[in-house]
Chains A and B, each alone.
Chain A
Amino acid sequence: MHGHLPPVVARLARTLPLAPLELVAQRLFANALNRRPSLFARLGPFAQATFAIDPVDCPFVFLITPAEGRLRVRETLGTAPHAARIAAPLVVLLGMLDGTYDGDALFFSRDLVIEGDTEAVLALRNAIEDAELDPATVLGLPAALCAPVNRIADLALDGARRMLDAPAPGGPRHAAPPR
């Protein structure tokens, strides 16, 4: 897969405690849900599902249950119950969150792996697509700061994607869309 963090970063991350990461991630998750309540309507019954979000180049996995507003961080997925697993390098997952990437194209090019309940994954993908979760929204920043923060974050993420040889954003690579 393209876009992997250098192994040295993963090794460093392994030495860090998970509790602070979980605290921060939980806060960001709560911001997203509070700012975009339409996420729940789009998820429908799948808001009850637990999704395993697996940044494959990091030594941890996120488990999110939207209906409960709950996010947990685990070292490995292990036997933790989940409806579906969505796995890709961290910068690719972040690019799906902010709409930089087309999920179908990533899947077709094998840069993204999904397992489990396909219907739940599709509901989550479509809900996130519509939510337009830019970095400032996820950070819970006031409106006045959104534009400059998003500009800086976009530049940083774009640079990271190029540095890590992540898939090119946007276009319909390897598109073999259904129907």
Chain B
Amino acid sequence: MTARRSLELVCPAGTPAGLRAAVDAGAHAVYCGFRDETNARNFPGLNFDRAEMREGIAYAHARGARVLVALNTFMRVGAIETWTRAVDDAVAAGADALILADIGLIAYARDAHPRQRLHLSVQAAAATPEAIAFYRDRFGIARVVLPRVLTLDEIARLTAAAAPCETEVFVFGGMCVMAEGRCLLSSYATGKSPNQNGVCSPPSHVAYREENGALTATLGGFTIEQFGRGEPAGYPTLCKGRFAANGATSHLFEDPVSLNALELLPRLAEIGVSGLKIEGRQRGRAYVAAVVRAFRGALDALAQGRAPDAGALRALTEGQADTTGAYRKAWR
């Protein structure tokens, strides 16, 4: 097993090539999943088969990086063994930790593999000291991934209360304002969900139509967004759509912006957060390598007592709409 660091950069790997790109760019750890409904990024062409997982873990370990295997959907009655077999296979492949959400699967993993390190997925939506303490004390959860709706002060209080359980927070990528693991918007629109099928706004139900330079994006037949000529486009995620309500048209639930908490790294380190998560297993390896390199540079600078070079990431995000999210409550 590869050693953990005090402030670990946890990076996305949607494919074996993505894993190599993240590790080579300086990831301390990568997270990835099997090519099925056991993980919350069950998209066509993405993820790892069993052999690829073993090879990916060997590649990462040879370079001092850890691999966290996400098995973070909820088990379906009648197909429990799909999830329990995935736990067994991830452990056999040498996973440094399993990222789990389903309480039954957590119980199975703890009983079947008593020495395996377990993390609690953001999909479990554990956002109170009581919830975290339950998972920590009952199942020996070593780290909890916190929801993306907490302020820095709330994270500080939770991190103190969770000890010796570690906390991990998102620092870059897509935002989610919902109680993760309990969001039913995709189910309502398409019949498929991130929680059981591993797909938020499944591509099988996404359609784009371009007319006279304007782009219309629909999900399950619902129009989610219309982009004017030249206007930056987005994926038709229901919570980020533009809707007419109460006489006004707006991004009703959430603006389609990306989280960027690079400038908050010193404060997150001070709070005692252990994991810094970059979102984006569905993104290309060029993107992953660029973001990982920028964050790794910032963390190395921080470790040497220097201020992180915010400019490095600003160059990458030029023209992009980003936010420090709920951490400073600037975003609604």
A positions within 8 Å CB-CB of B = 41-44, 46, 99-105, 107-110, 113-115, 118-127, 129-132, 169-179
Contact = CB atoms under 8 A, between A and B. Distances in A.
Contacts of B320: 172-175
10 contacts: A110-B233, A119-B203, A126-B46, A129-B14, A170-B287, A172-B287, A175-B320, A176-B235, A176-B258, A176-B321
B71 interface: no
Contact of B233 (A108, A115, A129): A108
A15 to B, nearest CB: 30
B284 A103 contact: yes
Given A99-B17, A172-B258, 16 more contacts: A102-B287, A104-B282, A105-B284, A110-B230, A110-B231, A110-B233, A113-B210, A123-B45, A129-B285, A172-B287, A172-B290, A173-B318, A175-B173, A175-B320, A176-B240, A179-B200
Contacts, number: 156
The interface residues of chain B, by DSSP majority, are classed as loop
Nearest to A126: B45
B78 interface: no
A4 B233 CA distance: 20
Contacts of A100: 286
Given A44-B45, A173-B319, A99 B201 contact: no
A130 B16 CA distance: 7
Interface in B112-150: none
B290 A171 contact: yes
A123 B44 CA distance: 5
B316 interface: yes
B234 interface: yes
Q: Give the most central of A115, A124, A173: most B CB within 10 Å.
A: A173
A176 B256 contact: yes
Contact of A177 (B17, B173, B210): B173
B208 interface: yes
B43 A129 contact: no
A105 B288 CA distance: 12
Contacts of A102: 283-284, 286-287
A33 to B, nearest CB: 15
B280 interface: yes
Nearest to A106: B284
A124 B200 contact: no
B49 interface: yes
B206 interface: yes
Given A102-B284, A110-B233, A130-B17, A177 B279 contact: yes
Nearest to B43: A122
B18 A129 contact: yes
B170 to A, nearest CB: 11
B195 to A, nearest CB: 12
Given A171-B316, A174-B320, A176-B240, A126 B232 contact: no
Given A103-B284, A104-B284, A118-B206, A179 B194 contact: yes
Given A119-B204, A176-B257, A177-B258, A170 B286 contact: yes
- List 3 A-B pairs, minimum CB-CB distance, nearest first: A126-B45, A123-B44, A171-B316
A40 to B, nearest CB: 11
Contacts of A123: 44-45
A99 B207 contact: no
Contacts of B279: 177, 179
B298 to A, nearest CB: 15
A118 B284 contact: no
A44 B203 CA distance: 15
B289 interface: yes
A174 B280 contact: no
Contacts of B201: 178-179
